[in-house]
């Protein structure tokens, strides 16, 4: 894959590109350091979550052609950008809140399977509807004085909220 194929936006003074290798935090930091050291680059921002790199440059010092030539040359020395498979690692919260590599193990498989089920679009749609029905049932049970129905419907609603939080944890 050429660097040109990774560019999603290119206007004078700013270029954004996306590449799976940039999802690796170490690679993203290395790219920021290398690109930031180029004369004419004014700022570099990497987002490992999306695998994007935003580069601000002085259009009077660097032309688009010069910038693309430098990018092609530099990509050959950066792991994952030169055509080899991107080193994207799954992460989990470490003790100090830092991302630490997450190793795949047999004990994690049921948890991963459960997370896959809970985050599936069909599950989320079903749970969203169940939350709406349980909310209506819970509120309808209050004036009727049915504490058991109110409590049960509230429990279903809270369970739905938990699933919703799990399904949308990355965007929260």
The reported pLDDT for the residue numbered 70 is: 78
pLDDT in tens, 152-168: 888 888 888 888 888 77
Q: Is the pLDDT of residue 87 over 70?
A: no
Give me the phi and psi of 154, to 5 degrees please: -65, -40
Residue 10, classed as helix, strand or coil, is strand
Residues 114 and 84 in one domain: no
- Whole-number average pLDDT of the chain: 77
Question: What would the two tokens of residue 11 be?
Answer: 């206007």
Separation between Cα atoms, residue 161 and residue 134, nearest integer Å = 11
**Helix (H) or strand (E) run with residue 19 in it:** none
Q: Is residue 69 part of a domain?
A: yes
Same domain, 87 and 7: yes
Could you tell me which residues come within 8 angstroms of residue 25 by beta carbon, excluding any fewer than 6 positions away? 48, 91, 99
CATH number at residue 28: 3.30.1360.40
Contact predicate 4/17, CB 8 Å: no
The structural domain count of the chain equals: 2
**Alpha carbon distance 64, 40 (integer Å):** 12
pLDDT(86) > 50? no
Q: 56 in helix, strand or coil?
A: strand
What is the domain range of residue 32? 3-91
Residues 119 and 153 in one domain: yes
Same domain, 17 and 75: yes
pLDDT tens-digit profile of 34-58? Answer: 888 888 889 999 998 998 989 999 9
**CA atoms 110, 120, 138, 171: torsion sign:** positive
Q: What is the C-alpha to C-alpha distance for residues 121 and 134, in angstroms, rounded to an integer?
A: 20
Residue range 107-112: average pLDDT? 61
User: Would you say residue 1 has pLDDT above 70?
Assistant: no
Q: How many residues does the chain have?
A: 172
111 or 146, which is more confident? 146
pLDDT at 108: 55
58 assigned to some structural domain: yes
Interval 8-23: pLDDT, tens = 888 889 999 888 888 8
């Amino acid at each position: 894959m050429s660097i040109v194929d990774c560019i999603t936006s290119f206007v004078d003074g700013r270029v954004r590109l996306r590449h799976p290798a940039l999802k690796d935090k170490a690679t993203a930091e290395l790219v920021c350091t290398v690109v930031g050291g180029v004369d004419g680059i004014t700022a570099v921002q990497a987002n490992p979550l999306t695998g994007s790199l935003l580069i601000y440059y002085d259009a009077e010092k660097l032309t688009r052609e010069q910038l693309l030539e430098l990018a092609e040359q530099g990509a050959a020395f950066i792991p994952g950008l030169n055509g080899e498979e991107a080193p994207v690692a799954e992460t989990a919260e470490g003790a100090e809140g830092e991302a630490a590599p997450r190793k795949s193990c047999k004990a994690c498989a049921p948890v991963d399977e459960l997370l896959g089920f809970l985050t599936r679009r069909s599950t989320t749609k079903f749970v969203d509807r169940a939350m709406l029905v349980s909310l209506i049932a819970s509120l309808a049970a209050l004036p009727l004085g049915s504490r058991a129905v109110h409590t049960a419907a509230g429990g279903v609603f809270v369970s739905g909220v938990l699933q919703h939080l799990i399904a949308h944890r990355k965007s929260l």
